[in-house]
Amino acid sequence: MSTEQEQVWLVVGATAVARYVVDPALDARHGPRPYLHPVRTLGGTVVTDTLPADHVWHLGVSLAVQDVNGSNLWGGRTYVRDVGYTWRDDHGRMAHTGWSQRSADRLAHRLEWRDPSGAVLLTEERRLSAAPSGGDVSAWRLDVDYTLRAPDGQDVRLGSPATNGRPGGAGYGGFFWRAVSAGPASVFSASATGEEAVNGSAESWVALVGTGPDGSAYTLVFSGLGDGDRWFTRTAMYPGVGVAFAFERPVTIAAGTTRRGRHAVVVADGALDRATAAALAARPGPVPPRGRLAT
């Protein structure tokens, strides 16, 4: 199926807020995987970037892990202990294998995480949903729910540049949002402000404030860390926020078992203050339908 046929939109009310590119035709070195871009506020401001010059393998909103049993499913160079970042022929891909649900506000599908030879590292069931956030703020909420399953008879190790020896809080890899900002972006949580203070924390929520290409301010409010997850944040080099699976140490999905993640992002027009961001993060999201994903 062509790339054009594999693009679908999430809609809130009558507004198309996010395009989901399911099967992108990309160089293997970019870590081909489904991604959301563009993602927009209800007011129309674009809040994601894809294929940026500084990190070409950053693809809007996606799941991406640099070390899955030695395969790079993030894209770009691989961090090698005692060597540094190195181009290697180790890039896998996350392949769409079938739809479970397709509607204006909900998407659910099955995927395989594959190594460079095409062997299956993990299987995944993923659900995305979009809904109004409610309240007085112009905002909507993206919910991302996924279950990763290791094959019978094989443990699967998830690692990061940090777990492979890179210093400086580079434990990225997991759910990642590459934002866009025409001016300096800022990041804060309930008790901390700035990239260095928030990066690696386990706060209940994190907010990023940026400026879209149209000059309008926007705010993203992230919540939903899993047990052992940490926030990965960047504002100086580029604007981005992620849920890092292996920030300080590798994580193993034991053979035949699953790992589930459930994250929410409120996409709001304007630069929100801490109190407003906290209120949006605390607001409950839609109840997921039963029977769609494994638990």
Tell me the pLDDT tens digit for each residue of 245-267: 999 999 999 999 999 999 999 99
Alpha-carbon distance 220 to 210, whole Å? 8
CB distance 64 to 31 below 8 Å = yes
Residue pair 60/178 in contact by the 8 Å Cβ criterion: yes
Q: Is the pLDDT of residue 170 over 60?
A: yes
CA 197/CA 93 separation, integer angstroms: 33
pLDDT given at position 284: 80
Amino acid 7: pLDDT: 81
Q: What H or E segment, with its residue span, contains residue 146?
A: strand 139-149
122 pairs with which residues across the strands? 113
**pLDDT value, residue 134:** 82
CA–CA separation, 87 and 77 (whole Å): 5
The string of pLDDT tens digits covering residues 33-64 is 999 999 999 999 999 999 999 999 999 999 99
pLDDT of residue 63: 98
pLDDT for 226 beyond 80: yes
Strand partners, 39: 18
What would the pLDDT profile of 269-294 be if each residue is shown by its tens digit? 999 999 999 999 998 876 555 444 43
CB neighbour class for 259 (10 Å; exposed up to 12, middle 13-18, buried from 19)? buried
Q: DSSP string covering 210-270, please?
A: EE-TTS-EEEEEEE-PPTT-EEEEESSSS-EEEEESSSSS-EEE-TT-EEEEEEEEEEEES
CATH number of 4-282: 2.70.98
User: For 71-81, what is the mean pLDDT?
Assistant: 98
**Which residue blocks in the chain are alpha helix, DSSP H?**
195-198, 274-282
